[in-house]
Each structure stands twice: as structure tokens, then as C-alpha cells.
Amino acid sequence: MTRLSDHLKKLEDESIFILREVAAEFQKPVLLYSIGKDSSVLLHLAMKAFYPAKPPFPLLHVDTTWKFAEMIAFRDETVRRLGLDLIVHINEQGLAEGISPVTHGSAVHTDVMKTVALRQALDKYGFDAAIGGARRDEEKSRAKERIFSVRSAQHRWDPKSQRPELWRIFNTRLRPKESMRVFPLSNWTELDVWSYIEAESIPIVPLYFAAERPVVERDGMLIMVDDARLPLQQGEKPQMRRVRFRTLGCYPLTGAIESTAASLAEIVDELVEARTSERQGRVIDKDEAGSMEKKKQEGYF
């Protein structure tokens, strides 16, 4: 505890408060676990918030089937280590239709296997609150997101009808079939997340640390050849480069950066030197201006 700076301690206290509000105010919450660093922090905070009890909600992973193999291994190990319930949901229809980021592009793949799949899972289990690790500093339209954000029965987000959020009093009321998205990390920055991981020794997927990995260069991005499903274009030959990831998603859509940072301290150092924001490594945000806002209206997290 004393290792945390005043600033991180305040962020931690606020996030714990938010997680406890969710547990107290909703019938059936769920924590969206995407295996990345933000999810790792979120899970760590949930373990702290309810100690000595376990978090009173399951984890949900919406699996697009294109995650890095190391992510899935880390997910299963984490759940086992902490003794938590994990629900894995895959859009079986999308899978049967053979939707993939390689053949259908990032927009279709993300919509079917992530956005639609998430809606399916929330409807299937009847969750009334979904806790996610999104932060306001990630993207411009996220900067205006509430901590407790209402979604319609169709899971749509209406930026014009957001509830004012004053002090730390959260309006958690829902009408039938509506649901809430809750973002306990709203006030954290990328640097806060890394500093906290370092201070609290939180386990994260090894892909965040630099190592020699097979990559190909496409459209200025380094794509890791994680398995045989990535068709190589003419003349492309995987090269071993010393790379790491600042953000983790579907492997064909997630760019690596060249780096030698092999420890948390080195990552934090690299980050404060960096002049590139983390979402640059994501193909899906670039489709068009305001693309995150559009996805959110459709129900993307």
C-alpha cells in the first residue's frame, strides 16, 4: 500500500468504490475480461474490493477465436490461480460463416465476433451490468463517457441522452431490458495502468514484454505470425524481430512495436519517452473519423 503514490492510491480507492457500487446495486453483474493489461488491473482491483470474499460476479471473455495463443493460456491460468468463474462466449453463427479478420477485414470481423457476440452473451445470461476496463484517455469519444453508462434494450449507446454524473453518486436505475456499462478505470491513464501494474506486481500476458517474435510488416504495422491461419502475401516472409505489444487484441489486427523493454520498469520508461498513443496499434479505430463513437453506438464496448 505504501508503495503507491498518492495519485495511484486515489485512483485505486475510487475504482474499488465503483466496483462495490456495482455489486450492491445490480442483480446480475459481469466483469468483461479481455485478458489485456487493463483487464488485469480491473481484475486485481475486483479481488481487492471484495476481499476477503471473492468478487460476486463471473468473468466473461468474448472470444473472437483470433486472440494470441499466449493470451488464452494466460486467461486460463489466471482463472485457475484466482479460483474464479469464467464464461467464454463465441459467436457460433459468425464462426460457422467463417468470419475472420483475414478474409472479411477488421470492420466486419470486429462487428460480428466482438460487438454482436457481446450483445449475444449479455442477452443470453441476462446480465444487467457489464464492467469494462475502458479508460477516458484512450480516444476522444471515450473522454465524454460516463462511469455508469446506460444501454438500451438493443445495447445501443445514445451520446445525447447520457445522465449527468455528479460527485460520486451514480444513478444505477434501469428500465426493463436496459443494461449498464460500468468503467471503473475511467480516470486512469495508460501510464497510471503500467505504474500500478509495476507497484502491485500484477501478472500480465508475456506479449507485453519484448522478445524475438516472427512478424511481417503490413501497412506500416508489424503483425505477428501467431499461427498458420495468417496467409502470407506474395514476397512476405516472417522475420524474427525484437518486439512487444502495447495493446492486445486479435493478432492479425494488432501491431507490435520494436522494443527492447523486457521488464515493467523498462516498459514504463519506454512509455514516458514514447510519442505514440497506444490505440495506434489497433486497425479498427482508423476506419474513419469518429469510428469509435459509431462502434459504441452499435454496442461495441
Partner 1 sequence: MGGPDHEREGQGASKTLLRFLTCGSVDDGKSTLIGRLLYDSQLVLEDQLAALVADSRKLGTVGNDIDFAFLVDGLQAEREQGITIDVAYRYFATGKRKFIVADTPGHEQYTRNMATGASGADLAVILVDARKGLLTQTRRHSFIVHLLGIRHVVLAVNKMDLVAFSEARFDEIAAAYREFAARLGIPDVTCVPVVARTGDNVCRPGETMGWYKGPSLLAILEETEAGQDPSGRPFRMPVQLVSRPNADFRGFSGNVVSGRVAPGDKLTVLPSGRVAEVARIVTADGDLAVAKAGDAVTIVLAEEVDVSRGDVLTAAAERPQVADQMAAHLIWMGDEPMLPGRPYHVKCGTQAATATVSALKHKINVDTLEKTAARQLGLNDIGLCNLSFSRPLVFEPYDTLRELGSFILIDKLSNATVGAGLIRFGLRRAEHVHWQALTIDKAARAAAKHQKPCCLWFTGLSGSGKSTLADLLDKRLHADGRHTYILDGDNVRHGLNRDLGFADADRVENIRRVAEVAKLMVDAGLIVIVSFISPFRAERRMARDLFQEGEFVEVFVDTPLEVCEQRDPKGLYRKAREGLIKNFTGIDSEYERPEAPELHLLTEQASPEALVDDILADLARRSSA
The site for partner 1 (CB under 8 A) is made up of: 1, 4-10, 12-13, 16-17, 20-21, 23-24, 47-54, 136-137, 139-144, 150, 159-171, 173-175, 186-187, 189, 191, 195, 268-269, 272-277, 279-280, 289-290, 293-294
Q: Is the dihedral angle over the CA atoms 253, 256, 257, 263 positive or is it negative?
A: positive
Smallest gap, in angstroms, from Cβ of residue 129 to partner 1? 14
Peptide bond into 52 cis (omega under 30): yes
Round to whole Å and give the CA distance between 267 and 185: 20
Round to whole Å and give the CA distance between 285 and 293: 10
C-beta separation of 243 from 207 below 8 A: no
Smallest gap, in angstroms, from Cβ of residue 6 to partner 1? 6
Q: How many CB atoms lie within 10 A of CB 225?
A: 18
In the complex with partner 1, which residue's Cβ is closer, 67 or 282? 282
Smallest gap, in angstroms, from Cβ of residue 134 to partner 1? 12
Smallest gap, in angstroms, from Cβ of residue 228 to partner 1? 31
Round to whole Å and give the CA distance between 238 and 207: 17
Smallest gap, in angstroms, from Cβ of residue 17 to partner 1? 5
The three cell numbers locating residue 221: 504495422
In the complex with partner 1, which residue's Cβ is closer, 94 or 281? 281
Smallest gap, in angstroms, from Cβ of residue 107 to partner 1? 17
The widest CA-to-CA distance across the chain, in whole angstroms, is: 58
Q: How many CB atoms lie within 10 A of CB 130?
A: 24
In the complex with partner 1, which residue's Cβ is closer, 67 or 295? 295
In the complex with partner 1, which residue's Cβ is closer, 116 or 185? 185
CA 40, 7, 144 angle in degrees (round to 5)? Answer: 70
In the complex with partner 1, which residue's Cβ is closer, 66 or 157? 157
Smallest gap, in angstroms, from Cβ of residue 162 to partner 1? 7
**What one-letter code names the amino acid at 255?**
G
C-beta separation of 156 from 162 below 8 A: no
C-beta separation of 147 from 182 below 8 A: yes
In the complex with partner 1, which residue's Cβ is closer, 65 or 162? 162
- The β-bridge relationship of strands 179-182 and 211-218 is unpaired
Smallest gap, in angstroms, from Cβ of residue 128 to partner 1? 13
The three cell numbers locating residue 219: 501497412
The three cell numbers locating residue 272: 514516458
In the complex with partner 1, which residue's Cβ is closer, 4 or 211? 4
In the complex with partner 1, which residue's Cβ is closer, 93 or 154? 154
Classified as helix, coil or strand, 256 is strand
